[in-house]
Chain A
Amino acid sequence: AQSVAQPEDQVNVAEGNPLTVKCTYSVSGNPYLFWYVQYPNRGLQFLLKYITGDNLVKGSYGFEAEFNKSQTSFHLKKPSALVSDSALYFCAVRDYTGGFKTIFGAGTRLFVKA
């Protein structure tokens, strides 16, 4: 069965410092991996995805993520955090063995301090 783990409930980082939000997954087939961000009282917003190809994918707002097949991870990164990056981040996985159902992690709250 598919599963996604976000091991940190909250990540705290100072503005200007690099940030990492961790995600690990478990699927039977080749995964499709996604990151979404949720601001208060709003729906989820797509950031980036990995389908195939280059393991490093770049997305919106300067975010990037690295697919690591051996570690079954897809960590979200940004070289320099902004206060406006403070939000709730969700990792999601999808694969054909699950009927392409998208499974979301529980979310990680990112807090960037000025």
Chain B
Amino acid sequence: EAGVVQSPRYKIIEKKQPVAFWCNPISGHNTLYWYLQNLGQGPELLIRYENEEAVDDSQLPKDRFSAERLKGVDSTLKIQPAELGDSAVYLCASSSGGSGNEQFFGPGTRLTVL
């Protein structure tokens, strides 16, 4: 079974530039998550999708961050414009239905904003 796929793995941009991350979840997983992980910390939820619907985006900085999950499969997370403080690892995860189910994580995208 293929795991969660993320691209790119690494991205270096200058501040004020836009950037986008892509995630393809495990086939059949209806729940998709985007997390931000700073160095030395645990993942923090940015947004959670149930199929196409964003059911929890309370932690997403909506002035510069946006996300979409068209057709309820793969997803894109965008930052525009990027700031120095956005440098972090962006993790995508997916899970099948059920609140007790574990999440499967992709390898992450390491973003460096110069």
A→B interface (CB under 8 Å):
4, 32, 34, 36, 41-46, 49, 51, 90, 92, 94, 96, 99-102, 104-107
Question: What are 29 residue pairs bridging A and B, where the CB atoms are less than 8 Å apart in the complex?
Answer: A4-B42, A32-B100, A36-B105, A41-B107, A42-B107, A43-B4, A43-B91, A43-B106, A43-B108, A44-B43, A44-B91, A44-B103, A44-B105, A45-B105, A46-B102, A46-B103, A49-B100, A51-B100, A90-B42, A92-B42, A96-B99, A100-B99, A101-B56, A104-B42, A104-B44, A106-B42, A107-B40, A107-B41, A107-B42
B→A interface (CB under 8 Å):
4, 33, 40-45, 48, 56, 91, 93, 99-100, 102-108
Q: Which residues of A have CB within 8 Å of B102? A: 34, 46, 49
Contact A43 B40 (CB under 8 A): no
Q: Which residues of B have CB within 8 Å of A49? A: 100, 102
* A16 → B minimal CB distance (Å): 29
Q: Which residues of B have CB within 8 Å of A32? A: 99-100
Among residues of A, the one whose C-beta sits closest to the C-beta of B10 is A41
In the assembled complex, the Cα of A54 lies from the Cα of B104 at a distance in Å of 24
* A10 → B minimal CB distance (Å): 11
Among residues of B, the one whose C-beta sits closest to the C-beta of A50 is B100
Contact A43 B105 (CB under 8 A): yes
In the assembled complex, the Cα of A43 lies from the Cα of B43 at a distance in Å of 10
Q: Which residues of A have CB within 8 Å of B106? A: 43
Q: Which residues of B have CB within 8 Å of A90? A: 42-43
Known pairs A34-B102, A42-B108, A106-B41 / 6 extra A-B pairs, C-beta < 8 Å: A32-B99, A44-B93, A44-B105, A90-B42, A107-B40, A107-B41
